[in-house]
Amino acid sequence: MVKTIAEFVENYLAKLGLIMYFSKPSAPAAPDYRGAAVAQGQANIDAARATAKLGNPSFINPLGRRDVDFRPDDEVFVTDTLTPLGQTRLDQEQRIGTQLGSIAEQGLTEVGKGLGTPFDLSQVGDITTQPTVGGRDAISNAILAREQPLLDAQRQATETDLLVRGHNPGGSAFEGAMDQADRRENDLKIAAILAGGGEQARLYGMQAGERGRGIQEQAFLRSLPLSEVNALRTGNQPMMPQFQGYQGANIAPPNIQGAVGQQHAAAMNTYNQGMANAQNNMNAAFGLGGTIGSAMIMAPCWVARAVYGESNPKWLIFREWLFTLAPKWLLKLYIRFGERFASFIKDKPKIKNIIRHYMDKACLIILKEKKNGIL
């Protein structure tokens, strides 16, 4: 009953233009985070697609062009197209390369033969002359044998000359001259020994050089087929024109989820402010001077008298219910707007019949309470 009376009063306040003054806003609906996530994902995909398209235009140069084709299934195809002359040259180079490759393939047989044969040093001459003391002495002795007769003749001539001039053995002049002759002979022996060692080194180096050249020649002949195959395989490579490679810029997608969260936060702020305003308005409207007890004494029951008539004591019974058992908010509304509402319904019997139905129930409640001794 109370709810129905409240609804009736609310309708009345709406007609008076006061319902917006007291009404409380509805809470905003919770954001559709799943929908926002789906929208965010689609925005990310759209941003990626825009990034790829903006960062990869078609390129054209004197040798040809490069086109980037974006398919609906997000496949990307990059196509290079040469000029007619460039295409002809590329075809020629590819044919030449194919033919050279065939020749190189045939040469692999010779490569296999060469690499399959162990390296043979038997065809390279050995070094027969090894530097030794005996070999050096043999050369030195040969040199001394050739020079010794001349040394002996010079010694004999020196002794004869000394004797003719009156210098006998044991004298200082004779012994000095012989000492010089001995020195010359000793110097010749040393020179012969050095010459023998140098000759051995010369012979050894000559034979070692011959052997090294022989090994290099064998190695060259062994690797020649492989070198020829590599030259055929790598030669005459076709040259493609150079275009800018596929790349992308970075376009940031819109922050849909963040915007949804901010929108909901703003709606909640508006809702909370509306609730606070409604509560303040209610407090202001019902902040009447004095207490409810004094209002009960001073305020007549306008609506009940309009419904029952002043001669019907029921309006007093309803008045007692209103000031004892009715909700406080209803009592405050009644005191605030009851007089104007009674004036509004005085010539509207249908509305008064509806209100009387619920007021009768309120009167029965108050009578039952008194019967039970509660009041």
- pLDDT tens figures, 207-234: 777 777 777 776 776 677 767 767 766 6
User: pTM of the predicted model, to two decimals?
Assistant: 0.33
Q: What percent of the chain has pLDDT over 90?
A: 8
Tokens, residue 109: 């047989």
Report pLDDT for 294. Answer: 41
Report pLDDT for 143. Answer: 81
Check the CA dihedral 340-13-335-372 and report its sign: positive
Q: Tell me what the mean pLDDT of segment 255-262 comes to.
A: 76
Q: How confident is the model at residue 21 (pLDDT cuts 50, 70, 90)?
A: very low
Q: Is the pLDDT of residue 179 over 80?
A: yes
Cα–Cα distance, 210 to 14 (Å, whole number): 124
Q: Is the separation of the CB atoms in 216 and 189 below 8 Å?
A: no
Q: Is the separation of the CB atoms in 302 and 352 below 8 Å?
A: no
Q: Is the separation of the CB atoms in 40 and 361 below 8 Å?
A: no
Report pLDDT for 18. Answer: 42
Tokens, residue 270: 């508006």
Cα–Cα distance, 369 to 375 (Å, whole number): 6
Q: Tell me what the mean pLDDT of segment 173-191 comes to.
A: 82
3-state secondary structure of 327: coil
Q: Is the separation of the CB atoms in 176 and 229 below 8 Å?
A: no
Closest CA to 81 of 255, 232, 240, 212: 240
Cα–Cα distance, 90 to 287 (Å, whole number): 97
In DSSP terms, 80 is beta-bridged to 66
The overall longest dimension of the chain from CA atoms, in Å, is: 199
Cα–Cα distance, 351 to 357 (Å, whole number): 10
DSSP string, 47-111: HHHHHHHHH---EEETTEEEEEEE-TTS-EEEEEEE-HHHHHHHHHHHHHHHHHHHHHHHHHHHH
Tokens, residue 194: 């050095």
Q: Choose between 291 and 254: higher pLDDT.
A: 254
Q: Is the separation of the CB atoms in 177 and 171 below 8 Å?
A: no
Cα–Cα distance, 189 to 148 (Å, whole number): 10
**What are the two backbone dihedrals, phi and then psi, of residue 263, each rounded to the nearest 5 degrees?**
-65, -40
Q: Choose between 140 and 237: higher pLDDT.
A: 140
Tokens, residue 196: 């023998």
Tokens, residue 127: 């070094």
The residue whose two tokens read 């009851």 is: 338
Q: What percent of the chain has pLDDT over 70?
A: 72
Q: Is the separation of the CB atoms in 301 and 319 below 8 Å?
A: yes
